[in-house]
Amino acid sequence: MMAKCPVCETEYTPNEVETCSVCGYDLTPYPPTDEIPSGFWEKEKKRIAAAKRVWRLSQSQVESAQLIVSHLQSQLDETTRKIEGFTQSQSQLESQIEAIASSQLRSLPRLESQIEAIASSQLRSLPRLESQIEAIASSQLQSQSQIEAIASSQLQSQSQIEAIASQLQSITEAVADTPIVSSSSGFDYTQLHRLLKSGQWKAADQETAKMMLAVAGKTQRGYLGENDIENFPCEDLRIIDGLWVKHSNGLFGFSVQKQIYINCGGKPDGSYPGDTIWYRFADEVGWRVGGSWLSSKDYTFSPGSAKRGHLPFTIRIDNWVYTDMYSSLAHRLVTCSI
């Protein structure tokens, strides 16, 4: 059975797609009704209404631009018809000139034989003939000027069409590139997105820790336990990881750390991997140097010198990593398909 995107109403098959192919809206199915927090539906309705307004505005801008392009195309077609008309007139004028010249050549022998008799007549008619030739030449120059003016107008119209097409493309790309940085549970990751996009890695690491505590409802306690990680919402975890991976070009992020953890021999089943594998993983991501664990103040917040998977460092208790909780995080990433 087909369903429709709540934003742009594009049809899709439920459970087969995660995002709308037209507007990019998240189509992940809602959890069972008894797991949805109080007030969720009102927030969801407001979020969908806002997305619809953005979508309709972008479509209105696209349609306006298309109307302008259509109008300019009509002007271009009319200009082309005028050029063809002037070209035909010029061709006719050239044919007339050739006919006059041919007639003059045919009459030349007869004129030579009668030259003495009609010399005075020719002299009298010479000014008139010169005037006619000048008039014809002037008309030809005017036609040439008109053709050049029309060609210039056509170039200007083409430039306008290209400018509008460029503006239309910018509008389309801006709509497609607009990131969704809020989860269905109402948590807004705009600040995290801004910090990562501007390269403020330390502030972004702190913002990540703050947001995860808020999502898990453990802000007052100040750290996450194994149960908090195992029940952390997949959507929020996916948004946080996606922002880190995107803005670090694949250098940082939970999914990057998970892959390194597996490569070191760890199994993402929530169990402790043993000291050897755990130390190897910590060495690989730069959390341990020369056999000693780093404190949070000694972490590297520069992509140019940090190891792959070094950030974010959010699973912490008193500035050190609790291994069982990180094992739980790796397991949660797998269950969330991240």
Strand, helix or coil for residue 146: helix
pTM above 0.85, yes or no: no
Cα–Cα nearest to 189, from 209, 208, 213: 208
Distance CA 255, CA 261 (A): 10
Could you tell me the pLDDT band of residue 98, with boundaries at 50, 70 and 90?
confident
Least confidently predicted of 93-102, 105-114, 122-131, 171-180: 171-180
Distance CA 279, CA 284 (A): 9
Asked if the model's pLDDT at residue 328 lies above 80, the reply is yes
Asked if the model's pLDDT at residue 172 lies above 80, the reply is no
- Looking at residue 281, what is its pLDDT? 93
Averaged over 99-122, what is the pLDDT? Answer: 62
Check: CB of residue 215 under 8 Å from CB of residue 185. yes
- 21 torsion bin: left (phi>0), alpha (psi -120 to 50), beta (else): alpha
Instruction: Dig out the tokens for 316 from the structure.
Output: 């912490």
Could you tell me the pLDDT band of residue 80, with boundaries at 50, 70 and 90?
confident
Distance CA 333, CA 338 (A): 5
Higher pLDDT, 72 or 278: 278
Highest mean pLDDT among 93-102, 161-170, 270-279, 311-320: 270-279
Distance CA 252, CA 287 (A): 13
